[in-house]
Amino acid sequence: MTLTPLQRRSLLMWLAGAGTTMAQPGAAAWPTRPLRIVVPYSAGGAADIAARLLAPELQRSLGQPVGIENKPGADGNIGSAEVAGATDGHTLLMGSVGTHAINPLLSRRLPYDAVKDFAPVSLVATVPLVLVINPAVAQALGIRRLADFVHAATSQPGRLHIASGGNGNPSHLAGELFKRLTQTYMLHFPYRSTASAQQDVIAGNMDLMFDSLPSALPQIRAGRLLALAVTSARRSPGLPELPTMEEAGGPALKGYEASAWIGLFSPSGQPAEQLARLQRDTVAALAGPALRERLTSRGMLVHGTGGAEFAALIAAETAKWARVVQLSGVKVDR
């Protein structure tokens, strides 16, 4: 992967922050009490699912209970700020593309510094989004596949209402990129959370949304949502029969890719020996076939990287989403 000068500077800042974290006396005995992983979103989303599946594996290897705390609000900013300020040595964050690549692009008042306040532990998984529509709406408009949907949206500008998890949320930006490439117009309705948006699409109060595949998969399988395409570059193992946007959308959507990701972070003050152990145990847990199968079956592509590789991804993703924000004209100042 070739990095731009901006990406290289961001990566160097991550590595410099990690390098200044010095081992402290007694670090080898860590952890000395239960740990908690803060999920800065509501229960049921991809970050929450991944954290709850990873926690038992870390508990076994670290020898201490690992609890999950959901701290939703401000599209991940509230929970992330809490972890950024944690000094107890036993608090972690299940962050995302939103908390560490998109939110810093959208706000001048972010209550944390995504680079300086965190040490990246490991990329846990990439998460495809999926375009889903209320089945009754799809039936009324004769929509069975993505091409039908594009035709309906093109022929009836403003007829369709698209929900998202909030302004600047990955579900919002994926939709804005789709609208720009297909030259379609749909009314956007931001919600306080992706879960709330999904509930209204199922209820028929909204027509469609770009949802995370792990969150949407049970609803798709139950017939409460109709899936049209995934936003990843490749089909998802969790729903292999569903085409990608590029496969189903033709030339207009060539190269379309808007996957999210989730990863584990610690506050930047974590001693080096503790961080190294956490990285080692996290990567080992994600390499285990049982955990990989559980995550894959929920639509996630499992990774398990070192901190430097994860930092390089964050730098590249920040540059990528900066272009999407610029193209979409999204302006948020939380």
Answer yes or no: are the C-beta atoms of 286 and 122 closer than 8 Å. Answer: yes
pLDDT at 193: 86
Domain 129-253 is found in CATH 3.40.190.10: yes
The pair of structure tokens assigned to 140 is: 């009324």
**What CATH number has the domain spanning 5-19+34-126+259-328?**
3.40.190.150
Check for a shared fold between 5-19+34-126+259-328 and 129-253.
yes
Q: Is residue 90 within 8 Å of residue 104, measured between CB atoms?
A: no
Tell which residue, 225, 265, 326, has the closest CA to residue 115.
265
Task: Determine the straight-line distance between the first and last CA of the chain, rounded to whole angstroms.
Answer: 32
Domains of the chain, residue spans? 5-19+34-126+259-328, 129-253
Q: Per-block average pLDDT, block size 10, for the chain (334 residues)?
A: 52 49 52 97 92 98 97 93 97 97 91 97 96 98 97 96 92 93 95 92 98 93 97 90 94 91 96 96 97 93 95 94 83 61
The Cα 162–Cα 223 span in angstroms is 19
Query: What pTM was estimated for this model as a whole?
Result: 0.82
The DSSP secondary-structure symbol of 156 reads S
Where are the alpha helices (H) located in 126-166, listed in sequence order?
A: 135-141, 146-155
Contact between 255 and 261 (Cβ < 8 Å): no
Distances in whole angstroms, Cα of residue 330 to Cα of each of 7, 160, 224, 317: 22, 20, 30, 17
Task: Find, among 98, 71, 232, the residue nearest to 165 by Cα.
Answer: 98
From CA 171, how far away is CA 76, in angstroms rounded? 14
pLDDT of residue 14: 54
Residue-level pLDDT at 22: 39
Check residue 13 and give its pLDDT: 52
Give the pLDDT confidence score for residue 18 in this predicted structure.
46
